Structure 1
């Protein structure tokens, strides 16, 4: 099996295979990862694991560009610099591909009364953005676009309200469960958190909910107000990340405490006014 450097031709073919699969996934059509790998193996002669790793590299490029990527290929670093260029070029040549990504983050969400939860510890192995990646020629910021999907945000918040009520009721505190309040709906969304809940010791839990249909490595958007409130209420603040919201089992992890301590923050936008002359 080959161990030499990847040629431009091989990179291009691998990116094409990946985007073919992603296009099928975005269109809600089935496809075979094994068939795509097999065709690449027959053409270029590398091990199956080499293409699996390269597909994960491509996910990393798309994640850094804030584009949707294949859920089954968790982003991994150590990629060739030429790979990002190849991904960008092929994205620009595919008619309708960006439209499919837009549909995947824009379409309305509804409540999930039948949901199941997959609870995990906060991830500590997510690959960070490659320095300088995704800063030029980004197509659409799909992370920000999905964060602005109000129906998805509301559906996630309501799921979290029910989860908190069930947690307290099952622990023998139905009185506290009755006191859980969806404050972003009853008091407005400027408080810096969405839900006021309780611990079993009757201490407040101020929960900010961030919901995505994407995998756990999808970035979050937080506001300056949320960062400030989490600092001022560091003992009671919880950032709850809901991911894979469209799957049968919704993933969740919690980050308690100040957001500046629990997250690596990267500025994306600034409010600007002209300087006085």
Structure 2
């Protein structure tokens, strides 16, 4: 439910529609047994997964890379069940013939531990010039 909720907010964000993260959080608290902080942190974890996949993420949920690898599976399952997600951006549907395809991002190889990805995957405000 948290992954689906995140993508609903992200769809609104990408489309420029207003939404309330606090209201979405309250609705989730009523449906699942998690605190407000827990849901917020899980949303940050989902941002980290999406960043690792090279996808858009909600700017208000800065990626938090300390997450269980099962969250990657949950996000990938959601994307597989919603194949239209990748065609949501106008630029993804345009075929002018004048652009190169976007490069394929390949992340770090999987490990046998639940350790977060290397620190170099995190972008801080100091990294942006």
| TM-score of the pair, normalised by structure 2 | 0.69
Structure 1 residue 95 displacement after superposition: 4.5
1:15 aligns with 2:3: yes
CA RMSD of aligned residues (A): 2.7
Does the 8 A contact of 1:68 with 1:101 survive in 2? no
Compare the two structures and name the one with the higher helix fraction. 2
Give the distance between the partners of 2:65 and 2:8, measured in 1 at CA: 21
Listed as ranges, the gaps of 5+ residues in structure 1 are 1-12, 107-129, 134-215, 219-239, 242-252, 254-277
Name the structure 2 match of 1:83.
71
Give the distance between the partners of 2:19 and 2:91, measured in 1 at CA: 19
Give the distance between the partners of 1:35 and 1:101, measured in 2 at CA: 26
Structure 1 residue 97 displacement after superposition: 1.4
Match of 2:87 among 76, 99, 110: 99
Structure 1 residue 38 displacement after superposition: 0.7
Q: 1:72 to 1:103 in 2, by over 3 A?
A: farther
Give the distance between the partners of 2:63 and 2:48, measured in 1 at CA: 4
Name the structure 2 match of 1:34.
22
Kindly tell me the number of residue pairs found equivalent between the two proteins.
Answer: 104
Q: For 1:96, what is the secondary structure of its paired residue?
A: helix
Compare the two structures and name the one with the higher strand fraction. 1
Q: For 1:62, what is the secondary structure of its paired residue?
A: helix
Name the structure 2 match of 1:132.
109
Listed as ranges, the gaps of 5+ residues in structure 2 are 95-106, 111-121
Q: For 1:70, what is the secondary structure of its paired residue?
A: coil
Give the distance between the partners of 2:4 and 2:37, measured in 1 at CA: 18
| TM-score of the pair, normalised by structure 1 | 0.34
Give the distance between the partners of 2:67 and 2:89, measured in 1 at CA: 23
Give the distance between the partners of 2:58 and 2:89, measured in 1 at CA: 11
Name the structure 2 match of 1:275.
none
Q: 1:97 to 1:37 in 2, by over 3 A?
A: same
Q: Using CA pairs below 8 Å that are at least 6 residues apart, which structure has the higher relative contact order? A: 2
Does the 8 A contact of 1:24 with 1:31 survive in 2? yes
Match of 1:58 among 46, 56, 64: 46
Match of 1:49 among 37, 55, 61: 37
Q: Which entry has the higher C-alpha Rg, 1 or 2?
A: 1
Give the distance between the partners of 2:90 and 2:55, measured in 1 at CA: 9
Q: For 2:64, what is the secondary structure of its paired residue?
A: coil
Structure 1 residue 93 displacement after superposition: 1.7
